[in-house]
């Protein structure tokens, strides 16, 4: 029987996963930004649990939502050829009914997404800045006295996760990273221990800069973290510079990063390192909480 209408699925078939990824690529080509963040992509790949609502018309996938129970968020996309038909509204209404309390990401904060959020009674509750800049001859300043920086080794794993939790205690997603999740990320094709720089203060891990290479030209400041006990030493800046120099050395010509809009001190650090705003993602939630 040809599929038509909305359905809810927790473990999509391989064909559905492929259709979701293809639709996401089509939406990204039109919108200039992907409807899937890293966590949602892992859910689509079956590497993290999640919940899906799918919209079909005569067997064609016309839209989807992915609910993330770990981050309590929902992402959504509608096939460009099928927009302005109420599909997005129906999908999100169904997803939020199934997952009350979840927020909805609008990547790129596109006007149509903002209008849909308002129609559904959602208000902006969080902004995530995408910053970027070109890479060239990257200078690295001196490491603060008493500290050393070296590439990641396996025995650093638990301490890196602990520093991450302390540095991102305020963060609704990043601070939740577990040791198992960290180890799973190190098994991803893009991971390179040579691109994860760990700062040591004696026997302690004081901070780290985890870089990520997206393609031949683009790198990312994936995670930059300094334990609060080591703030104010200039460690964050030299870790940032170390990672940028590494990305330039392996051939990247540009770098991006994501940072919470309200983290003014961190944004100032990146602005002082010549990063500029590329995009803004907005999270929306029910006005009544």
146 is an annotated ligand-binding site residue: no
226 is an annotated ligand-binding site residue: yes
212, part of any domain: yes
92 is an annotated ligand-binding site residue: no
The answer on 199 and 114 residing in a single domain is: no
Calpha distance 106→37 (Å, rounded): 11
Calpha distance 21→19 (Å, rounded): 5
> Would residue 232 be called left, alpha or beta, if left means φ above 0 and alpha means ψ between -120 and 50 degrees?
left
Calpha distance 61→19 (Å, rounded): 7
85 is an annotated ligand-binding site residue: yes
pLDDT for 289 beyond 70: no
286, part of any domain: no
231 is an annotated ligand-binding site residue: yes
3-state secondary structure of 192: coil
Helix H or strand E encompassing 170: none
| Among 66, 92, 120, residue at a domain's last position | 120
pLDDT given at position 1: 54
The answer on 81 and 139 residing in a single domain is: no
94-140 residue pLDDT tens: 999 999 999 999 999 999 999 999 999 999 999 999 999 999 999 99
The answer on 164 and 57 residing in a single domain is: no
83 is an annotated ligand-binding site residue: no
pTM of the model: 0.90
Position with higher pLDDT, 176 vs 255: 255
| Among 92, 120, 148, residue at a domain's last position | 120
> Would residue 121 be called left, alpha or beta, if left means φ above 0 and alpha means ψ between -120 and 50 degrees?
left
Calpha distance 244→227 (Å, rounded): 20
Q: Which of 221, 227, 210 is nearest to 167 (CA)?
A: 227
121 is an annotated ligand-binding site residue: no
6 is an annotated ligand-binding site residue: no
76 is an annotated ligand-binding site residue: yes
Domain tally, the chain: 2
Calpha distance 281→136 (Å, rounded): 27
38, part of any domain: yes
136 is an annotated ligand-binding site residue: no
Calpha distance 35→272 (Å, rounded): 30
Adjacent-strand bridge partners of 129:
259, 280
Q: How confident is the model at residue 288 (pLDDT cuts 50, 70, 90)?
A: low
46-77 residue pLDDT tens: 999 999 999 999 999 999 999 999 999 999 99
86 is an annotated ligand-binding site residue: yes
147 is an annotated ligand-binding site residue: no
Mean pLDDT of the chain: 95
The answer on 178 and 152 residing in a single domain is: yes
Give the range of the structural domain holding residue 218, as residue numbers without chain letter: 132-280
158 is an annotated ligand-binding site residue: no
pLDDT for 172 beyond 80: no
The answer on 155 and 46 residing in a single domain is: no
Task: Give how far Cα 38 sits from Cα of 75, 159, 257, Å.
Answer: 11, 23, 13
Adjacent-strand bridge partners of 54:
7, 64
Q: How many residues does the chain have?
A: 289
Parallel, antiparallel, or unpaired for β 218-226 and 254-260? parallel
Q: Which of 223, 214, 259, 267 is nearest to 243 (CA)?
A: 223
| Among 52, 85, 120, residue at a domain's last position | 120
Residue 144: DSSP 8-state: P
Q: Which of 163, 155, 133 is nearest to 252 (CA)?
A: 133
> What's the token pair of residue 193?
């221990």
pLDDT given at position 170: 84
Lowest mean pLDDT among 68-77, 168-177, 223-232: 168-177
Segment 216-236 shows an average pLDDT of 96
The answer on 258 and 137 residing in a single domain is: yes
The answer on 91 and 136 residing in a single domain is: no
The answer on 138 and 63 residing in a single domain is: no
147-165 residue pLDDT tens: 999 999 999 999 999 999 9
78-100 residue pLDDT tens: 999 999 999 999 999 999 999 99
The answer on 143 and 276 residing in a single domain is: yes
Task: Give how far Cα 147 sits from Cα of 47, 113, 244, Å.
Answer: 36, 46, 19
The answer on 80 and 28 residing in a single domain is: yes
Q: Which of 4, 3, 6, 34 is nearest to 92 (CA)?
A: 6
The answer on 140 and 43 residing in a single domain is: no
233 is an annotated ligand-binding site residue: yes
> What's the token pair of residue 231?
């703030």
225 is an annotated ligand-binding site residue: yes
Q: How confident is the model at residue 4 (pLDDT cuts 50, 70, 90)?
A: confident
CA–chain centroid gap for 161, Å, is: 17
The answer on 99 and 137 residing in a single domain is: no
175 is an annotated ligand-binding site residue: no
181-203 residue pLDDT tens: 999 999 999 999 999 999 999 99
89 is an annotated ligand-binding site residue: yes
pLDDT given at position 287: 75
232 is an annotated ligand-binding site residue: yes
CATH of the domain at 46: 3.40.630.30
234 is an annotated ligand-binding site residue: yes
31 is an annotated ligand-binding site residue: no
34 is an annotated ligand-binding site residue: no
197, part of any domain: yes
212 is an annotated ligand-binding site residue: yes
């Amino acid at each position: 029987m040809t599929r038509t209408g909305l359905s809810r699925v927790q473990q999509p078939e391989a064909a559905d996963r492929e259709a979701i990824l293809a639709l996401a690529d089509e939406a990204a080509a039109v919108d200039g930004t992907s409807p899937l963040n890293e966590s949602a992509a892992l859910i689509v790949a079956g590497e993290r649990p999640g919940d899906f609502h799918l919209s079909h018309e005569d067997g064609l996938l016309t839209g989807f939502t992915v609910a993330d129970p770990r981050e309590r968020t929902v992402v959504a996309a509608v096939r460009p050829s099928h927009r302005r038909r109420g599909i997005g509204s129906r999908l999100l209404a169904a997803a939020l009914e199934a997952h009350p309390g979840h927020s909805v990401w609008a990547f790129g904060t596109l006007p149509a997404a903002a209008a849909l959020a308002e129609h559904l009674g959602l208000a902006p509750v969080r902004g995530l800045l995408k910053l970027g800049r070109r890479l060239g001859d990257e200078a690295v300043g001196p490491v603060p006295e008493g500290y050393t920086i070296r590439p990641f080794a396996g025995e650093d794993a638990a301490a890196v996760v602990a520093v991450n939790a302390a540095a991102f205690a305020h963060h609704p997603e990043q601070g939740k990273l577990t040791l198992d999740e960290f180890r799973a990320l190190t098994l991803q094709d893009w991971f390179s221990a040579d691109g994860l720089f760990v700062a040591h203060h004696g026997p302690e891990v004081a901070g780290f800069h985890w870089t990520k290479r997206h393609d031949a030209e683009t790198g990312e400041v994936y995670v930059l973290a300094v334990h609060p006990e080591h703030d104010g030493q200039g460690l964050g800046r030299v870790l940032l510079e170390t990672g940028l120099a590494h990305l330039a050395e392996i051939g990247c010509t540009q770098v991006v990063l994501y940072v919470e809009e309200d983290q003014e001190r961190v944004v100032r650090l990146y602005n002082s390192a010549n990063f500029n705003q590329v995009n803004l993602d907005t999270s929306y939630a029910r006005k009544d909480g």
